[in-house]
Amino acid sequence: MQKLEESVIKDLIEKAISMLDFAYVPYSNYTVGAALLSKNDKIFTGCNIENAAFGPSNCAERTAFFKAVSEGVKTFKAIAVVGGPSKKITDYCSPCGVCRQVMREFCDDDFIIISAKSKDDYKLYTLKDLLPQSFKPEGEIGATAK
């Protein structure tokens, strides 16, 4: 696992927590915030955005990735993810399977996922930990991203 400074981890968690205020969740009332760190040290944030039809809803993690990619950034170091009902973080929040696959499109197996309850209470995972035997953009199961 690549190393991240403690101060960087805490900054990402704080930014993810701040995104809970922007979540649009009239159906589930479950807010999620994310803060994505690019390899050039730019941070992209996201929140979950629901839709009455559910299918068009978007997770916080994908919102952050899509914002970054839409601005030309396609290489990343880490993401912090927080969430809970009514903006209350009660447990660790982990990316869904769709978000994990989007992460794999742009990140290698060593990409760091920070699942946090607070800036002082968090767990670190690699993408490989959370998405073993992933389908990779190179078209080969188990291939390494370039």
- Token pair for 119: 């800036």
**Closest by Cα among 42, 37, 52 to 3:** 37
- Token pair for 108: 């290698």
The pLDDT > 70 percentage for the chain reads: 95
Q: Out of 6, 14, 50, 61, pick the active-site residue.
A: 61
> Would you place residue 2 in the very low, low, confident or very high pLDDT band (cuts 50, 70, 90)?
confident
Whether 119 shows a pLDDT value over 90: the answer reads yes
Name residues whose C-beta falls within 8 Å of residue 75's C-beta, 6 or more positions apart in sequence. Answer: 38, 39, 40, 106, 107
pLDDT digits (tens, 9 = 90+) for 15-55: 999 999 999 999 999 999 999 999 999 999 999 999 999 89
Catalytic site residue 5? no
Whether 103 shows a pLDDT value over 50: the answer reads yes
Give the separation between CA 48 and CA 25, rounded to whole angstroms: 7
Angle in degrees, 0-180, between the axes of helices 97-106 and 60-70, rounded to the nearest 10: 20
